Amino acid sequence: MNYYQILKQYFGYDGFREGQEELICGILEGRDVLGIMPTGAGKSLCYQIPALMSDGITLVISPLISLMKDQVASLNQAGVHAAYLNSSLSPGQYYKALSLAKTGRYRIIYVAPERLVTEEFLDFARNTKITMVAVDEAHCVSQWGQDFRPSYLKIAEFIRRLPSRPVISAFTATATKEVRDDVIDILLLRNPVVVTTGFNRPNLYFGVQAPKDKYAAVKNYVECHPNQSGIIYCLTRKLVEEVCGRLCQDGFPAVRYHAGLTDEERRQNQDAFMYDTAPVMVATNAFGMGIDKSNVRYVLHYNMPKNIESYYQEAGRAGRDGAPADCILFYGGQDVVTNQMFIEHNQENEELDPATRSLVAQRDRERLKKMTYYCFTNDCLRDYILRYFGEYGENYCGNCSNCLTNFEEKDITGEALAVIECVRACGQRYGMGTILDTVHGANTAKIRQYRLEGNPQYASLAKVPAYRLRRIGNHLLAAGYLSATNDEYAIVKLTQMSERVLSGEEKVRMKFAKETGQEAKQNAGESVRGKKAKGGIPGLQGEADEALFGRLRKLRAEIAKEEQVPPYIVFSDKTLILMCAAKPSGKEEMLAISGVGEYKYAKYGERFLACIAGKQGGADPGI
């Protein structure tokens, strides 16, 4: 079988996604490869397909037990013999799996890195034909990344101790140069084929809202998206407790997750989420690594995270199946303050020397600033993120809250002049908050203490509403008309562009949402997507399809229970949506649906066909 046939027969897909074919061909030619692709791009197939075409065993190194379990369940569902070896197995189970492995039962074996150089495992590996070692989440070798794992350093030693060197393939979603170089150096990749795909995720909708009442906004969203699975990220454990508690009280199937819970509760809640019994997860950033759930339809941020890297990683957990999904950030001014506090009191950096620590804090403040600008920009949000990662695209995606908002550009030179003049007149010694208070004419202790009532610009913008002044202030910083220092005080300084505005050489323009439209609604806490969001499952047309989707999902849940795997491993949301659209009535038509492979068809195809024909299942769309 060639690799196209394998893709179709085992995984049920018709074509490769960007980067996959190149990496697979590299491996098949015996080259080492490094695939750098965003979350959800389909990295697993890049090593699984060559593994199925080789006559030896492929070892996959993966950092987390939950990831291994998920992947092995997926492979087994696709009809591939695979197993994992990690500390979740009892010694008895471990030796049984190992002895089955010795008989050649498995094509693909997932191994925890700390197992590699143990005597039993080495003994097995030295006496078997290992054709490839695939290193998943390869950024774990790098101390630059956020997820450094010392046990990943054992991989190279393990490979050195094998009688013959297998092909090494490595995969990660982290694109920075430091991490890429570390992966190549530490894993000792030899002249690897390196493939980096774009980081854009077109199926994700990006939105920013600044609702007065965050809880009301989140609740409204969850209410409008019943039966959908989503994650709500909060900055603190306390907020997780609060938001989850209120959602449960309001009757929503939510569970919580943060580092302060017992292992047992965390495991239970994670399972409830994975198995869709509690499809809404409220969590801190402790939740996520190792969550490959493909049918997460939305990721809401109750708070702004600390930087764009974290935001994109967390938001990226939505829509891995490629079907439309929402990523909405609910911004509030307090989020900046909380993040600043985390930076000033970062305990992880305690062991660093003072100079390094201050450098790290400075870098973190800079990143926080860029994150804050994301919440205030009126330009394309997707473009903002991609630019941050060094990719240049069009400044219009048509699928973010800014591209979908009607803006009008206004001349704000007058306001800009007042703010810039104020900064100059007070000697460039204050942060933006104080400057804006001054031009707004506030009467605070600080204003009195520093005698800012005497500033020539005091109260010169008294008539401009405070929220609008904040936007203007942020725009001036983000667009470079002013700058802020990187220390904890973020003192506002003049720039070359300030001079051009002061001298009258340059006019300042800024986009505002038309007042009657989005901004007013956002401030009232309504969904930006308004009615469109209420329909529920994106990609379905009409009530009949929605009802069918409900029945298919019910059948999927039944099968998942029988098989003891999470529902999305039986079929992804995307595959069910395609079934609703195509309504296949026979084997050939069913096999043409993306995600339906031969093996799954043989196991469940007829039950799904019967359901589509209306011969099975009730109307209850329970998840």
Q: Which residues bind Mg ion (CB under 5 A)?
A: 43
Q: Per CB under 6 A, does 388 bind ligand ADP?
A: no
Q: Per CB under 6 A, does 113 bind ligand ADP?
A: no
**Residue among 43 and 266 whose Cβ is closer to Mg ion:** 43
Q: Alpha-carbon distance 520 to 210, whole Å? A: 10
SS3 category, 458: coil
Q: Alpha-carbon distance 159 to 168, whole Å? A: 9
Q: Per CB under 6 A, does 40 bind ligand ADP?
A: yes
Q: 66, 172, 378, 572: which one contacts ligand ADP (CB under 6 A)?
A: 572
Residue of 404, 349, 391, 364 whose CA lies nearest to 533: 404
Q: Per CB under 6 A, does 457 bind ligand ADP?
A: no
Token output for 413: 């030179």
In the region spanning residues 575 to 614, those forming contacts with ligand ADP, defined by CB under 6 A, are 594
DSSP conformation letters of 93-109? HHHHHHHHHHTT--SEE
> Which residue type, as a one-letter code, is found at position 307?
N
Q: Per CB under 6 A, does 526 bind ligand ADP?
A: no
Q: Per CB under 6 A, does 201 bind ligand ADP?
A: no
> Shortest gap between Cβ of 39 and ligand ADP (angstroms)?
4
> Shortest gap between Cβ of 237 and ligand ADP (angstroms)?
27
Q: 32, 182, 276, 292: which one contacts ligand ADP (CB under 6 A)?
A: 292
> Shortest gap between Cβ of 137 and Mg ion (angstroms)?
7
**Residue among 70 and 415 whose Cβ is closer to ligand ADP:** 70
Strand partners, 325: 204
**Residue among 42 and 567 whose Cβ is closer to ligand ADP:** 42
Residue of 27, 210, 568, 420 whose CA lies nearest to 438: 420
Q: Per CB under 6 A, does 63 bind ligand ADP?
A: no
Q: 13, 152, 374, 384: which one contacts ligand ADP (CB under 6 A)?
A: 13
Q: Per CB under 6 A, does 297 bind ligand ADP?
A: no
- Provide CB contacts within 8 A for 49, sequence distance 6+: 3, 6, 7, 24
Q: Alpha-carbon distance 56 to 58, whole Å? A: 7
SS3 category, 280: strand
Q: 284, 294, 295, 518: which one contacts ligand ADP (CB under 6 A)?
A: 294
- Number of CB atoms found within 10 A of residue 509's CB: 13
CB 211 within 8 A of CB 523: yes
CA count, 13 A, side-chain hemisphere, 276: 28
Q: 4, 9, 17, 248: which one contacts ligand ADP (CB under 6 A)?
A: 17
Q: Per CB under 6 A, does 319 bind ligand ADP?
A: no
> Shortest gap between Cβ of 5 and Mg ion (angstroms)?
23
SS3 category, 130: strand
Q: Alpha-carbon distance 240 to 234, whole Å? A: 6
Q: Which stretch binds ligand ADP (CB under 6 A): 41-49, 108-116, 248-256, 297-305?
A: 41-49
Q: Alpha-carbon distance 495 to 481, whole Å? A: 6
- Provide CB contacts within 8 A for 34, sequence distance 6+: 138, 169, 170, 171, 172, 180, 183, 184, 189, 192, 193, 194, 195
Q: 320, 367, 475, 554: which one contacts ligand ADP (CB under 6 A)?
A: 320
- Provide CB contacts within 8 A for 329, sequence distance 6+: 207, 208, 209, 300, 301, 304, 311, 315, 374, 375
> Shortest gap between Cβ of 106 and ligand ADP (angstroms)?
19
Q: 23, 24, 45, 477: which one contacts ligand ADP (CB under 6 A)?
A: 45
Q: Per CB under 6 A, does 372 bind ligand ADP?
A: no
Q: Per CB under 6 A, does 42 bind ligand ADP?
A: yes
Q: Per CB under 6 A, does 557 bind ligand ADP?
A: no
Q: 33, 44, 130, 386: which one contacts ligand ADP (CB under 6 A)?
A: 44
Label residue 563 exposed, middle or buried (CB < 10 Å: 0-12, 13-18, 19+): middle
By Cβ distance, which residue is nearest to Mg ion?
43
Q: Alpha-carbon distance 398 to 286, whole Å? A: 32
Q: Per CB under 6 A, does 455 bind ligand ADP?
A: no
Q: Alpha-carbon distance 363 to 369, whole Å? A: 10
**Residue among 70 and 421 whose Cβ is closer to ligand ADP:** 70
Q: Which stretch binds ligand ADP (CB under 6 A): 39-47, 208-216, 256-264, 327-335?
A: 39-47
Q: Which stretch binds ligand ADP (CB under 6 A): 10-18, 358-366, 474-482, 557-565?
A: 10-18
Q: Per CB under 6 A, does 440 bind ligand ADP?
A: no
**Residue among 43 and 258 whose Cβ is closer to ligand ADP:** 43
Q: Which of ligand ADP, Mg ion, none lies near 330, with the C-beta cut-off 5 to 8 A by kind? A: none
Instruction: Give the gyration radius of the chain's Cα atoms.
Output: 27
By Cβ distance, which residue is nearest to ligand ADP?
42
> Shortest gap between Cβ of 254 and ligand ADP (angstroms)?
24
> What is the dihedral sign for C-alpha 486, 489, 495, 501?
positive
Q: Alpha-carbon distance 23 to 194, whole Å? A: 8
- The 193-196 sheet, strands edge to edge: 82-85, 108-111, 57-61, 130-135, 167-172, 33-36, 193-196
**Residue among 43 and 107 whose Cβ is closer to Mg ion:** 43
Phi, psi at residue 511, to the nearest 5°?
Answer: -85, 135
Q: Per CB under 6 A, does 374 bind ligand ADP?
A: no
Q: Which of Mg ion, ligand ADP, none lies near 13, with the C-beta cut-off 5 to 8 A by kind? A: ligand ADP
Chain residues in the site for ligand ADP (CB under 6 A): 13, 16-17, 20, 37, 39-45, 292, 294, 320-321, 572, 594
